[in-house]
Amino acid sequence: MHVFIFPNLDKKNCEKTVCSTYKFLTEHGVKVYMSEFYEADFSYLSGVIFEDENFCAEKCDIIIAIGGDGTILSASSLACAYNKKLLGINCGRLGFMATLEHDELYLLENLLNGNYHTESRHMLDVLVKRKDSSDSISVLNDIVISKTAKTKIADFKVKKSDCCVSHLRADGLIFSTPTGATAYSLSAGGPILEPDMDCFEFTPICPHTLMSRTMIFSKNTSLEVSFDTYDGSEQSLCLIADGNELDTISASDRVYISMSDKYIELIDIRGGNFFMSVTNKLMRPLKSSEEE
């Protein structure tokens, strides 16, 4: 077996967890890859193959993301691009998408024995059309169109097949997969969706109305999003994909959002349950820094 370890050293306990994971894997004959970016940090792990992360993703059988939910999201683009299974080990404060905590590495034996199951998580396709160009991206959690601190509240229009489904004034909009329903959308008042549902949701951010609610769309839906300012002033909004700011969009741009044919396979090594995670991680106080 070949494993690509994808760490986030900004997380407490990450370096220790990487070393323990490496030790466990190599003792069981697993070949370990890491991005060359971390070669200086882990030069003392003599058996690691340090290469470009795309090379590592292509050569591995499984990607292990060690960090928090953001680390898993970062690794998901590689997992999707190279059709690799993804395992998350949590060193963060929530780790909702992770299947293991950093003190449960003994359960990696299930990975080596094939004693686990996977969950298919569909992604969202996002296409931005400008006057002279277009860009596309796929996201696992959500795409957010948001005002900045220096811009004014905007008027948004969301259309499906030339039919307006929402016209509202708000700080921004969140379009999320069922996986992302427990992230920003939940904080903005959206519902929890089971991760295997074939749908996606639209949740406004701080809408200037009492009547705005989350809307859920079927997997075959394609939405067109545009915006304007009520006073006609020129401004740009941020386009944020899985927590990373991508670019700005102007009133002349159009954003198209639909469910993707792409998906990733998340490894559940512990045999957990989605609603168990909801109960244990979303209905309890946040970890303190001492617990991380």
- Identify whether 61 is a catalytic site residue: no
CA of residue 275 relative to chain centroid, distance = 19
Q: Which of 226, 203, 225 is nearest to 216 (CA)?
A: 203
Within 10 angstroms of residue 4's Cβ, the number of other Cβ atoms is 29
Q: For residue 285, which amino acid is it?
A: P
Are 173 and 165 in contact, with CB atoms under 8 Å apart? no
38-73 in b/e burial notation, b at 16+ Cβ within 10 A? Answer: beeebeebeebebbebeebbbbbebbbbbbbbbbbb
Q: For residue 193, which amino acid is it?
A: L
Q: For residue 8, which amino acid is it?
A: N
Residue 17 to residue 23: CA distance in whole angstroms: 10
Active-site pick, 10, 41, 61, 69: 69
Q: For residue 56, which amino acid is it?
A: C
Are 13 and 91 in contact, with CB atoms under 8 Å apart? yes
Are 201 and 191 in contact, with CB atoms under 8 Å apart? yes
Residue 225 to residue 2: CA distance in whole angstroms: 42
Q: Which residues are catalytic?
A: 69
